[in-house]
A and B are shown apart, each in its own frame.
Chain A
């Protein structure tokens, strides 16, 4: 029974750790499917986290915080769009720039406004998204097997966690069942064809980036307002890049993205849980190896040893209209 409880606890923290990855991964999905590479997921999450925590603690409202996180994150996405769509700049370069501007400005502004070494004030109860306890969760907790699963795994997460997982079927529906989604995928594969059909390539890509900005904003808000009670400098700590890896691992598909993020979240949860204690059969695994595993797996996948990851064909190429 102890083993079972431990497994449930690991799975529970898997869910918590994979939520920011999932949101950022879906965000990347929108932009990359429209043909815009986005290395700036990390930076947009970071500004989202900062704006969310800052606004929530100033206005004493979690929802204003979330709104501000989305707003600022979309603004950064628009900078990326301005550089890479309007001015046809290098998308990678633009993404790198956004990551730097985000990393620097969150610390500078945080220090200037709150004087706590780049942190925002600790959020009070009403300023965070609290856990939602599902009906009957306490009552069934003692029921074997089903009880802990219901009480720990399904119930007791914050609103944003459920939102993140609901975004998976929603993204799938938008991409594969709506006109907007069809055009978005088309513009990532063959923008010239979309242009010929009389649809604006630029506007379509801008809309894709707005979706990206919204989702990275929510991801950032989750980090600073749910997982942590406030903003800490560099709190994304490479999650944007893991999300990028997950996106490739998922071969740019929403449902796969969820499984990839859960896998990477599980690796993280297991690494924290084990902390160097020996595993059966394999023996002691260094923590660093577990932390590097998502990246190693992605490289192996990219090398084409576990099926082939084929990116959207027009990805990274600025669209030049023939005149």
Chain B
């Protein structure tokens, strides 16, 4: 079954519609600000200034963006295969365990450039393994991936709480977290890049994981659009029947896609754990996995879009912190509402404005829509 909608020019499909959806989400969020009794326009100005006004703000924005690039890519890879990985949160959380094991064992012996690759492998491996069981159950036993990954989020949280209040907690400490890592597991900061442009940075956690995130975005693009595996994943995502007919193994493709997704989710943990806090603490993921859903939808599952959407959400997180400072009536939870609205309008209601835009295009130049439709068939 094809989509019931005619094709729009690509720039409208990938640029205009997401922007309209985003605008509507922000307008509704503006009404919430109004309801709270503040001025939405002033709030928007504070938000953008807080995120991009100073060097420190930019560094923080990119630090948050790093996290969201990983989770966004994780959700997107699974989505290309027609799977909704809602378990990014849990996969990232449990990956903290892999990082903790590597860092706690080697941080006193090895320099960071040896610990980091090992931690990357460990986090990706643990994340992928945590996604393996739901993937296997989906592929072999037909249990719904959404439900199993939700359950695995809670199971991961229980395991991590158990470990962090028990075995992983240093003796004599009260806080539910591992001991602080030594210099061998602290990632170098990237703030000097922003300082090259003349901005001053006091202290911000932007670190080399940002580069890893960009590399992963490129690799995901390569995987999805330039490899046989990616082609098979997209085929299965579009039509499991067609994939089966083409001789693609259902089990293999589901498990591979979910493990890649889990690995990307797991790598997210590197950013806060090794780049910022230098320990594994309770709830260090704090919802970033769910932000990944919004980022992936916003970015229309394309790595470029995901990086842009991740920066947008990074801006919301950093600017939101400033906003909470300037307008006490608005706490950081405002971002959670915006996040929800973005998921609603860019995800569930993504086709709401499409018929109107199509009518608009058709009224301006009927041929542009028609011609695109003919071209679209070849793709």
Nearest-CB distance from B251 to chain A (Å)? 15
Residues of B within 8 A of A (CB): 1, 4, 32, 35-37, 84, 86, 133, 137, 141-144, 146-148, 150-152, 154-155, 158-159, 161-162, 166, 290, 293, 297, 329-331, 333-341, 343-344, 347-352
Interface size for chain A: under 10, 10 to 19, 20 to 34, or 35 or more residues?
A: 35 or more
Q: Knowing that A87-B349, A97-B348, A103-B333 are A-B contacts, what are 9 other residue pairs whose CB atoms are under 8 Å apart, sorted by A's residue number?
A: A87-B348, A90-B348, A98-B344, A100-B340, A103-B340, A108-B330, A296-B151, A299-B133, A311-B144
Which residues does chain A contribute within 8 Å of B161, judged by CB atoms? 288
A284-323 interface with B by 8 A CB criterion = 286, 288-289, 291-292, 295-296, 298-299, 302-304, 309, 311, 320
Cα–Cα, bound, A201→B36 (Å): 38
A residues near B (Cβ < 8 Å) are 37, 39, 79, 82-84, 87-94, 96-105, 107-109, 111-112, 118, 238, 241, 244-245, 248, 286, 288-289, 291-292, 295-296, 298-299, 302-304, 309, 311, 320
B365 to chain A, nearest CB (A): 26
What residues on B are CB-neighbors of A92 within 8 Å? 84, 86, 146
- The answer to whether A108 and B144 have CB atoms under 8 Å apart is no
| A302–B330 CA distance with the chains assembled, in angstroms | 42
Which residues of B sit under 8 angstroms from A299, Cβ to Cβ? 133, 137, 143, 148, 151-152, 155
Shortest CB distance A179–B (Å): 30
Give which listed residue, A96, A103, A289, contacts B158 with CB less than 8 A.
Answer: A289
Checking A79, A87, A292 against B352 with a beta-carbon cut-off of 8 angstroms, the contacting residue is A87
Say which residue of A87, A93, A112, A288 sits within 8 Å of B37 (CB atoms).
A112
List, in ascending order, chain A residues with CB within 8 A of B35's CB: 109, 112
In the complex the two chains form, is A292's CB within 8 Å of B154's CB?
A: yes
> A87 to B351, Cβ gap below 8 A?
yes
Contact B349 A83 (CB under 8 A): yes
Q: Which residues of A contact B338 (CB under 8 A)?
A: 104
Given A94-B347, A96-B293, A298-B147, CB of A109 within 8 Å of CB of B36: yes
Which one of A84, A107, A248, A288 lies within 8 Å of B331 (CB-CB)? A107
B348 and A83 within 8 A (CB): yes
State whether A93 and B162 are in contact (beta carbons under 8 Å apart), knowing that A302-B141, A302-B147 are contacts in the complex. Answer: no
- Complex Cα distance, B290 from A298, in Å, reads 22
**Interface pair B137/A288, CB less than 8 Å apart:** no
Most buried by A among B143, B151, B155: B151
**Can you offer 16 A-B residue contacts whose CB atoms are under 8 A?**
A88-B351, A93-B297, A94-B344, A94-B348, A97-B340, A99-B340, A104-B338, A107-B331, A108-B331, A108-B334, A238-B154, A244-B150, A288-B162, A292-B159, A299-B152, A302-B151
**A238 to chain B: closest residue by CB:** B154
Return B319 CB to nearest CB of chain A, in Å: 15
Cα distance A309–B86 in the bound complex, in angstroms = 20
What residues of chain B lie closer than 8 Å to A245, measured between beta carbons? 147, 151
Knowing A39-B146, A96-B293, A241-B150, the reply to whether A292 touches B348 (Cβ < 8 A) is no
A54 to chain B, nearest CB (A): 13
In the complex, which residue of chain B has the Cβ closest to the Cβ of A94?
B348
Instruction: List the A side residues contacting B148 at CB < 8 Å.
Output: 299, 302
Closest to A100 in B: B340
- B86 close to A96 (CB less than 8 A): yes
Closest chain-A Cβ to B1's Cβ sits at a distance in Å of 8
Total inter-chain residue pairs, C-beta < 8 Å: 153
Closest 6 pairs (CB-CB, A-B): A100-B340, A104-B336, A104-B337, A89-B348, A302-B143, A94-B348
* CB closest chain-A residue, reference B137: A303
Inter-chain contact B84/A98, CB cutoff 8 Å: no
Q: How far is the CA of A100 from the CA of B36 in the complex (A)?
A: 18
CA distance A304 to B315 in the complex (A): 44
Contact of A295 among B143, B154, B166, B339 (CB under 8 A): B154
Query: A292 vs B343: C-alpha distance in the bound complex, in angstroms?
Result: 28
Q: Given contacts A302-B141, A311-B144, A320-B4, is CB(A104)–CB(B347) below 8 Å?
A: no
- Name the residue of chain A whose CB is nearest to the CB of B350: A89
Q: Return A42 CB to nearest CB of chain B, in Å.
A: 10
**Distance in angstroms between the alpha carbons of A311 and B338 in the assembled complex:** 32
Give A111's nearest chain B residue, CB to CB.
B331
For the complex formed, measure the closest distance between the CB of A38 and the CB atoms of chain B, giving whole angstroms. 11
Partner of B337, one of A82, A100, A292: A100
Query: In the complex, what's the smallest C-beta–C-beta distance from B378 to chain A, in angstroms?
Result: 25
Give the shortest distance, in Å, between A120 (CB) and chain B (any CB).
15
How far apart are the CA atoms of A229 and B159 in the complex, in Å? 31
Residues of chain B within 8 A (CB-CB) of A84 are: 348
Q: Which residues of B contact A105 (CB under 8 A)?
A: 32, 337
By beta carbon, the residue of chain B nearest A296 is: B155
Interface pair B333/A108, CB less than 8 Å apart: yes
B151→A298 contact, CB < 8 A: yes
Chain B contacts for A309, CB-based, 8 A: 143
CB nearest neighbor in B for A286: B162
The answer to whether A100 touches B349, judged by C-beta atoms less than 8 angstroms apart, is no
List A contacts of B84 (CB < 8 A): 90, 92-93
User: Do residues B329 and A93 form an inter-chain contact, with CB atoms below 8 A?
Assistant: no
Q: Please measure, in the bound complex, the distance between the C-alpha atom of A244 and the C-alpha atom of B148, giving whole angstroms.
A: 11
Query: Once the chains are docked, how many angstroms separate the CA of A90 from the CA of B329?
Result: 33
**Most interface-central of A94, A98, A289, A299 (chain B CB within 10 A):** A299
Residues of B within 8 A of A102 (CB): 340
By a CB distance below 8 angstroms, the chain B residues around A87 are: 348-349, 351-352
A288 to B4, CA, bound (A): 48
What is the minimal beta-carbon distance from B33 to any residue of chain A, in angstroms?
9
Q: How far is the CB of B338 from chain A (nearest CB, A)?
A: 8
Q: A93-B348, A295-B155 are in contact. Are A104 and B334 (CB under 8 A)?
A: yes
Docked complex Cα distance between A88 and B349 (Å):
8
Distance A109 CA – B143 CA, assembled complex (angstroms): 38
Nearest CB in chain A: distance from B31 CB, A: 11
| Structural contact, A304 and B347, CB atoms closer than 8 A | no
Instruction: Give the chain B neighbours of A320 by CB distance below 8 A.
Output: 1, 4
What is the CA–CA distance of A125 and B48 in the complex, to the nearest angstrom?
Answer: 46
Which of B142, B147, B159 contacts A244, CB < 8 Å?
B147
Query: Given that A96-B293, A311-B144 are known contacts, is A104 also in contact with B344, CB under 8 Å in the complex?
Result: no
Q: How far is the CA of A39 from the CA of B290 in the complex (A)?
A: 13
> Per a CB cutoff under 8 Å, which of B86, B143, B297 touches A303?
B143
> For B86, what are the chain A residues with a Cβ–Cβ distance below 8 Å?
39, 92, 96
